[in-house]
Amino acid sequence: MLFNSFVFAVFLPLVFAGYWALQRGNLKLQNAFLLIASYVFYGWWDVRFLSLIIISSLVDYQVGRHMVDSEDARKRKLLLFISLAVNLGFLGVFKYAGFFVDSFADLLETLGMQANRFALQIVLPVGISFYTFQTLSYTIDIYRRKITATHDPLAFFAFVSFFPQLVAGPIERARDLLPQFTKARTFDENMAVDGVRQMLWGLFKKVVIADNVASSVDLVFTGYADMPATHLAVGIFLFAIQIYCDFSGYSDIAIGCARLFGFQLSRNFAFPYFSRDIAEFWRRWHISLSTWFRDYVYIPLGGSRAGRWGRMRNIIITFTVSGFWHGANWTFIVWGLLNGLYYIPLMLADKQKDHTGTVAEGRLWPGFGNLAQIGVTFALTLIAWVFFRADSLPHAFDYLSRLATGPWSLSVPFKEQILLCCFLLGVEWIQRDRQHGLELPAMPRPLRWAAYYSLLIALFWLGNTQHEPFIYFQF
């Protein structure tokens, strides 16, 4: 079920009304209702894959209970291994089996051997990368004794399958979200109203911005060989805005939707294109995934405690694995590796934490230094996005080669879409110290309502009516 679909527009009010109509304080009934609603939401896409979520939830619930009750180190390791094997096994089979088969066949052919290729017709379950990491954090944190196991299966199953963030995050930690399923929830009007505002802003980013520029991005990346470099540069810029609006739009809708039901989800984006270096960018882009890899990959490898070469190795491994998480293609691996290479000079100079506050805080315009830093960081990010968007490595390298060698044209394409993107960036620059673009506490009420109605009109007038899936559904 898509957030930007008519079905969801009917589904959400019905679930909201039914949820709050339940007897106040009847926590188990509310959790059961949310669990059923979440399974309906996910099963609307393909009911067969509900079995994966149920098995994963059941395994990790039982692993957590037995692990927390045991002091036997070997037994605890075995239980953790079971959780890792089941969850990563599902991920490996459904997401990466075809990639490994094709890569092995390519290797054999490179060595001059005959490779009998066969196609694996495996459908990738929507959201498997997200809920797998979410439930793994639960068993790993129990193993590390950072949290204790829950003995409420209803709360745990609802935590794993919570529909607002089930298929594309934010990837919630058990220590943050699970306790919210175990305590009474009451309706908070202010919280719900702000949730609706954030959902509206997310829908605007997805339907009006991302979906409108998608066709132009496809046109450029498909026909780039016959286009001047100007078109290629604009194509990369539009893709950068498309993927940001598509993914952060989903996160805004998910966070806002959760607030309607009394839940606080983690912030997933913090205006990343205003970052002054790559380290700041990764503190602001897909925050829940970046911190997941920091806590469960980078730190266990030794983190910053290792020597210079050890830290470089840990950074490269973490970013490369992060790239592979995004998809079973060498383009994603190179994208991750490239971001790791961007990060290393900052780390070696011990400047990776230089920019932790809001850029140009308290000022309308950034200084020349900040502007130059933002420009360089954005340019590096655009180069990396070419690998993320390209169909293959030769496609990406050829695209960048043609961009570098020209020819350039004075004619700028897709002017209307560029103006839309600049409008978005302008609004988010003004709101860069807020949680989202429609958080307008100081604005007079008439102006606030004018902003809301303007976005609603834009949704119906400019919005793409094709109900395009979110890009991150494929990950």
State the catalytic residues.
326
Measured distance CA(151)–CA(157) in Å, rounded: 11
Measured distance CA(249)–CA(205) in Å, rounded: 5
**What is the DSSP track for 330-385?**
HHHHHHHHHHHHHHHHHHHTT-TTS--S-TTTT-SS--HHHHHHHHHHHHHHHHHH
Could you tell me how far CA 412 lies from the centroid of its own chain? Answer: 31
Angle at 427 between CA 424 and CA 430, to 5 degrees: 145
Angle at 186 between CA 180 and CA 189, to 5 degrees: 115
User: What is the per-residue burial (b if ≥16 Cβ within 10 Å, else e) of 235-273?
Assistant: bbbbbbbbbbbbbbbbbbbbbbbbbbbbbebbebbbbbb
409: CB partners within 8 A, 6+ apart: 228, 229, 230, 231
Axis crossing angle, helix 128-143 with helix 153-161, rounded to the nearest 10? 140
**What is the DSSP track for 151-182?**
S-HHHHHHHHH-GGGTTT-----HHHHGGGGS
Angle at 238 between CA 198 and CA 321, to 5 degrees: 80
Q: Please, are residues 475 and 327 in contact by the beta-carbon 8 Å criterion?
A: yes
Axis crossing angle, helix 368-389 with helix 393-405, rounded to the nearest 10? 140
Size of the chain in residues:
475
Alpha-carbon Rg for the chain in angstroms: 23
Q: Please, are residues 375 and 329 in contact by the beta-carbon 8 Å criterion?
A: no
Measured distance CA(300)–CA(228) in Å, rounded: 47
